[in-house]
Structure 1
């Protein structure tokens, strides 16, 4: 597992989402270190310079939570504040659910905790929705890898608060996942050409590792049956942009019932999906305050 780290003090883990990597936390690594924390942002399983197992079944939520616990162990700590964005938020929430003994506090960005439903999740996904489009191995993989830099500039702009419309995340018949995102005339102010080059370089060998996370949605549902009605007990924080496409298909008003120790839920005006990059100072400040108040 490749990690980027900064600072010394209580451990704060920063878990990225799709399609990103440790670099999405570049601002928070510095800010949290300056606030007195040991900030660590890994490339998660299947991403960047971390190992990329070939089997789809090696990317279940149990594997991903196990990676987090193993990283805490490797860093010589008993507990951490675990922060996640997008898919990283799902991993952070489930780390708090499955291993609350290792979590001082949990923060989810852009994706709320979704309690386990009564049926396998893919059985309720409409045809064309991106979750369904990602299921067939090799299809989305080829679409995204054809021109990684073009895809990344499209999705990073298209899911941000700078895009004129919020995406429905539906791939039209005969279309590709790349097609649903507009190509920007110029990059938004929070994303430089150098940032984009860094991201594209991290995906030089493709996107299959990250896509394999999506291919375990039903398997994750089966594996977490024992936690069907369980609640997340560690102290928690949630943040989301009010222009995030996640809001078009994910409810956040049920979060408090599933996370009884939710200390704060914040909706950021004008921000889209990439909240820690679009609003770095605000997010860094919120995380530093939360991590400080979660010390034992």
Structure 2
């Protein structure tokens, strides 16, 4: 059973779920859009039972205590800073980092920029940002798959997604996502300012810019063949951007929502990765 805590940082207090002993192996799990820490419920339970100290925060904008109003406050430098601030709060010199969707983008960047802090990286669905950016620009399939980002950046996105009892927001989630998770996400994102903050991650992309370079830490990348947002071009090219030990797991007939759609499969892969790299 995960415990709810708040994590004080210079940016504000992050809401978070934790499991396992505080002196256990530290594992930080970063959720994606449009979700929250509860997406990691199954993984928190298993990691806690495996004597890890697993922490899943509601990230910047999703935690009411860290919800700045300016778009620039959601650029990648701030998101990586949040990861390090949370680690500092717990006194972690090194930790395992897991991310899905936007959380994966943050995790990739943190691992590239601060390899001395990351024991292992597990990225789910979203590939290394450099080949992903190349594919968005140069691969027609990926360019079309990523067209939704322009919709999310538009000024009227909030109104469109929340109209008619959040019908379009609910349509984003795959049927494999548990309904009680969807209801929880939608309830959170209908709170004043919450959806704007979540969409500001997309709007701030123009401030982040630049390539992050290769990742040197032991890395597991998990991608589903039915991912509507991420095609095979960048997924397969990610291997060329990891210089450390690398494992790529392609899940047949699985969508973008891997941690919730196939929790047992994903958690098994995650535990194998952690056990393989304990130093």
Matched residues in 2 for 1:75 and 1:263: separation? Answer: 28
Q: For residue 230 of structure 2, what is the aligned residue in structure 1?
A: 247
Partner of 1:45: 60
Matched, 1:282 2:249: no
Shift of 1:135: 2.4
Listed one character per residue, the Cα deviations across residues 8-48 of structure 1 (whole Å, up to 9, x for unaligned) are 21111110111001011111110111122111111000114
Aligned mates of 2:130, 2:110 — CA distance in 1: 13
Look up the match of 1:295.
Answer: 278
Shift of 1:246: 2.7
SS state at 2:234 partner: coil
Equivalent runs, 1:183-202 vs 2, <5 Å: 188=176, 190-192=177-179, 194-202=180-188
Note the residue ranges of structure 2 that are not aligned, 5 or more in a row. Answer: 1-13
Check whether the contact 1:17–1:85 (CA below 8 A) recurs between aligned residues. Answer: yes
User: 3-state SS of the aligned residue for 1:44?
Assistant: coil
Change (3 A) 1:39 1:204: same
Alignment equivalent of 2:173, drawn from 156, 173, 188? 156
Deviates more, 1:139-148 or 1:40-49: 139-148
Preserved contact between residue 46 and residue 209 of structure 1 (Cα < 8 Å): yes
Match of 1:98 in 2: 113
Q: Structure 1 residues 152, 33: closer, same or farther in 2, change over 3 A? A: farther
Aligned to 1:108: 123
Q: Would the aligned equivalents of 1:148 and 1:204 in 2 still touch at CA under 8 Å?
A: no
Measure how far apart 1:283 and its partner are.
0.8
Cα shift readout 1:232-261 (whole Å, capped 9, x = no counterpart): 111100001111113338521211111122
Deviation by residue 1:109-158 (Cα, 9 ceiling, x = unmatched): 00000217999x789967x921222223x31121123356533431112x
1:207, distance to aligned residue in structure 2 (A): 1.0
Correspondence 1:6 to 2:19: yes
Give yes or no for contact 1:33–1:39 (8 Å, CA) kept in 2: yes
> How many residues were matched structurally?
258
SS at match of 1:153: helix
Q: Is the 2:223–2:235 contact (alpha carbons within 8 Å) kept by the matching residues of 1? A: no
Aligned pair partner of 2:205 in 183, 205, 217: 217
> Relative to total residues, which structure has the larger helix share, 1 or 2?
2
Structure with higher strand content:
2
Does residue 258 of structure 1 match 2:273? no
For CA contacts below 8 A with separation 6 or more, give which structure has more relative contact order. Answer: 1
Q: Among 120, 123, 129, which residue is 2:147 paired with?
A: 129
Residue 23 of structure 1 corresponds to 38
Alpha carbon RMSD of aligned pairs, Å? 2.5
CA separation of 1:30 and 1:19: change in aligned 2, threshold 3 A: same
Are the structure 2 counterparts of residues 249 and 213 from structure 1 closer, same or farther at C-alpha, using a change threshold of 3 Å?
farther
Residue 122 of structure 1 contacts residue 218 of structure 1 at CA under 8 Å; is this kept in 2? no
TM-score of the pair, normalised by structure 2: 0.84
Superposed CA offset, 1:190-230 (max 9, x none): 513x3332222211224111111111222211xx46x4xx3
Change (3 A) 1:147 1:49: farther
